């Protein structure tokens, strides 16, 4: 055997070790999840994630291949998240609720923590139409926008394990709710009119609030929509005074409980 053949054999041996280590690592991820579930512990532990990252940074500080190895670890961590997400949610998570209820914020966070695909409906529609939501309303009217929402929602039912953040009006159409439930569990986020006002008062991208950005109008429209929102929801989460992490944990717990029922 010449040297080259020997190196190739050594490389194959290394690859086998990497595979074994990854299989072992993934099995440990599953054990951690099972442990957290048994003891009712929070699934999301961002502080632990940061600790893990610091440990890696420290260990690789003077390593000649630091950047390459960090890159591989990014993928490994991402895949661990996917393993968790697939185990927890074999369906789409559909977030509904009034403007400013926190749908975008919570879906961004969940998508990051579980590396799940995210579709922000308003954003997707604006990109496809190459127009902002206020411009779509002003140019084509609300009905046109509502049909775009329905079509997009229908299209999204071909996939699973995705987070769908709906615009505030999506759950008001019965046909949309039927679509959401085909592959998804529907999570309603709620907040008091005062909290909503506080969250939306500085934004200009909500045509319905354009000339009505005040607590009374919000309270009134919210009350008009309440029944439909509640009828669509599989779980409801009240968000006033809670952190993103608290809301997300509550969401995971409530969705997991649905499966146990
Ligand atoms: C709407 C909510 C908005 C956007 C549009 C109409 C509504 O989305 O779809 O302005 O009818 O409540 P957000 O809830 O994400 O603000």
Q: What would the 3-class secondary structure string for the chain be? A: CCHHHHHHHHHHHHHHHHHHHHHHHHHHHHHHHHHHHHCCCCCCCHHHHHHHHHHHHHHHCCCCCHHHHHHHHHHHHHHHHHHHHHHHCCCEEEEEECCCCCHHHHHHHHHHHHCCEEEEHHHHHHHHHCCCHHHHHHHHCHHHHHHHHHHHHHHHCCCCCEEEECCCCHHHCHHHHHHHHHHEEEEEEECCHHHHHHHHCCCCCCHHHCCCCCHHHHHHHHHHHHHHHHHHCCEEEECCCCCHHHHHHHHHHHHHHHHHC
**Does the CB atom of residue 169 touch ligand 1 within 6 A?**
yes
* C-alpha–C-alpha distance, residues 18 and 24, integer Å: 10
Please state whether the predicted TM-score (pTM) of the whole model is above 0.85.
yes
Residue 246 has a CB neighbour count (10 Å cut-off) of 14
Confidence of residue 130 (pLDDT cuts 50, 70, 90): very high
Q: Is pLDDT at 252 greater than 90 in this prediction? A: yes
**Does the CB atom of residue 208 touch ligand 1 within 6 A?**
yes
Average pLDDT over residues 229-258: 96
Average pLDDT over residues 200-223: 93
Average pLDDT over residues 125-135: 97
**Predicted local confidence at residue 261, as pLDDT:** 72
* C-alpha–C-alpha distance, residues 232 and 168, integer Å: 13
**Predicted local confidence at residue 74, as pLDDT:** 96
Mean pLDDT of the chain: 96
**Predicted local confidence at residue 250, as pLDDT:** 97
Q: Are 97 and 172 in contact (CB under 8 A)?
A: no
Q: Is pLDDT at 32 greater than 90 in this prediction? A: yes
Centroid of ligand 1 to alpha carbon of 193 (angstroms) = 15
Q: Are 72 and 142 in contact (CB under 8 A)?
A: no
Q: Is pLDDT at 63 greater than 80 in this prediction? A: yes
**Does the CB atom of residue 168 touch ligand 1 within 6 A?**
yes
Q: Is pLDDT at 124 greater than 90 in this prediction? A: yes
Q: Is pLDDT at 1 greater than 90 in this prediction? A: no
Q: How far is CA 214 from the centre of its chain?
A: 29
Helix axes 66-88, 244-260, angle to 10 degrees: 50
* C-alpha–C-alpha distance, residues 187 and 95, integer Å: 5
**Predicted local confidence at residue 6, as pLDDT:** 97
- What is the strand order of the sheet 117-120 is part of? 117-120, 162-165, 92-97, 184-190, 235-238
Confidence of residue 44 (pLDDT cuts 50, 70, 90): very high
Average pLDDT over residues 142-154: 97
**Does the CB atom of residue 207 touch ligand 1 within 6 A?**
yes
Q: Is pLDDT at 25 greater than 80 in this prediction? A: yes
pLDDT-above-70 percentage for the chain: 100
Centroid of ligand 1 to alpha carbon of 218 (angstroms) = 12
Max avg pLDDT among 122-131, 157-166, 203-212: 122-131
Residue 122 CA, closest ligand 1 atom number:
9
Q: Is pLDDT at 137 greater than 90 in this prediction? A: yes
Q: Is pLDDT at 159 greater than 90 in this prediction? A: no
Q: Are 94 and 157 in contact (CB under 8 A)?
A: no
> Which residue owns the Cα nearest ligand 1 atom 1?
168
Minimal CA–CA distance to 245: which of 106, 51, 88? 106
Q: Are 119 and 157 in contact (CB under 8 A)?
A: no
Average pLDDT over residues 99-124: 97
**Does the CB atom of residue 185 touch ligand 1 within 6 A?**
no
**Does the CB atom of residue 97 touch ligand 1 within 6 A?**
no
**Predicted local confidence at residue 204, as pLDDT:** 87
Residue 207 CA, closest ligand 1 atom number:
10
């Amino acid at each position: 055997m010449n040297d080259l053949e020997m190196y190739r054999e050594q490389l194959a041996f290394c690859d086998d070790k990497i595979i074994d280590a990854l299989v072992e690592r993934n099995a440990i991820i599953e054990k951690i999840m099972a442990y957290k579930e048994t003891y009712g512990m929070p699934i999301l532990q961002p502080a632990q994630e940061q600790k893990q990252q610091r440990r890696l940074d420290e260990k690789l500080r003077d390593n000649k291949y630091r950047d390459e190895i960090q890159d591989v670890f990014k993928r490994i961590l991402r895949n661990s998240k996917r393993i968790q997400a697939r185990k927890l949610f074999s369906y789409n998570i559909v977030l509904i609720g009034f403007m400013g209820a926190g749908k975008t914020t919570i879906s961004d966070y969940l998508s990051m923590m579980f590396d799940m695909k995210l579709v922000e409906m308003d954003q997707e529609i604006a990109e496809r139409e190459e127009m902002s939501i206020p411009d779509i309303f002003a140019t084509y009217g609300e009905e046109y926008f509502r049909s775009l929402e329905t079509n997009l929602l229908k299209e999204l039912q071909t996939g699973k394990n995705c987070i769908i953040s709906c615009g505030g009006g999506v759950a008001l159409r019965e046909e949309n709710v039927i679509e959401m439930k085909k592959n998804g569990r529907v999570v309603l986020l709620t907040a008091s009119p005062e909290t909503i006002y506080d969250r939306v008062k500085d934004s200009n991208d909500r045509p319905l609030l354009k000339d009505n950005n005040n607590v009374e109008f919000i309270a009134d429209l919210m009350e008009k929509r309440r029944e439909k929102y509640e009828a669509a929801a599989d779980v409801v989460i009240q968000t006033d005074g809670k952190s993103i992490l608290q809301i997300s944990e509550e969401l995971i717990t409530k969705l997991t409980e649905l499966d146990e029922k």
